[in-house]
Amino acid sequence: MNFLQKIINKVGLKRMIENQNYIGSQVLIGKNTIVKGSNISGRIAIGHDCKIYRADLNGNIEIGNFTSIWGPNIDLNALVNGIKIGNYCSIAKNVTFQEFNHDYSRFTTYYINKNILKNKDHKSDLVSKGSILIEHDVWIGAHSVILSGAHISTGAIVAANSVVTGFVPPYAIVGGTPAKIIKSRFELEVCTQLLESRWWDLPLNELKNRIDEFQEIVKNTNA
């Protein structure tokens, strides 16, 4: 075997490892959803026609239809409350959803119940400000962090390298640490029409036939 063949074999092995999955027994995955190189464990439901690539999902998580979680290095962790993500969302690489945290109100932030007292209930070391809710058609940029209690509304965009801790209005563009509103994608009237249409819930054939109609709504807007 020559040197070049050895390199090819190593690259092929790396790709094979990257595409392997671990999927737990309580995970439900919908039709036509593609999962590659991911670890998925806990009580997790993923809708149809999603794309999950090189992501780690752990805990109580619900993901809608046609959502793309495209890594590498995407982490969704929900051990106290849950994480819910809607339809047609786009989550970029290196994004972290952290629904729980260390309890700094105790004498130590260390996981003392789990590691010292050997308490099997790992939740006794954790605190949370509530579930994480991502509505529909949300785009979360690379390297962002979504913390417990965050609620990102339909149509919103989270700029890269942002930290979201609270409520993001519909069709808002937010960025920074903590994330603040930069602007709205559209005028209020356009946002209202899009929200009232609930296009993300339409059957696929109907959506295909009405895409031009929805694009016309935003065509002449000045955000």
Q: What is the CA radius of gyration of the chain?
A: 20
Active site residue 48: no
Give the whole-angstrom CA distance, residue 1 versus residue 189. 67
Secondary structure (H, E, C), the chain: CCHHHHHHHHHHHHHHHHHCCEECCCEEECCCCEEECCEEEEEEEECCCCEEEEEEEEEEEEECCCCEEEEEEEEEEEEEEEEEECCCCEECCCCEEECCEECCCCCCCCCHHHHCCCCCCHHHHEECCCCEEECCCCEECCCCEEECCCEECCCCEECCCCEECCEECCCEEEECCCCEEEEECCCHHHHHHHHHHCHHHCCHHHHHHHHHHHHHHHHCCCC
Catalytic residue among 48, 102, 122, 136: 102
Q: Which residues are catalytic?
A: 102
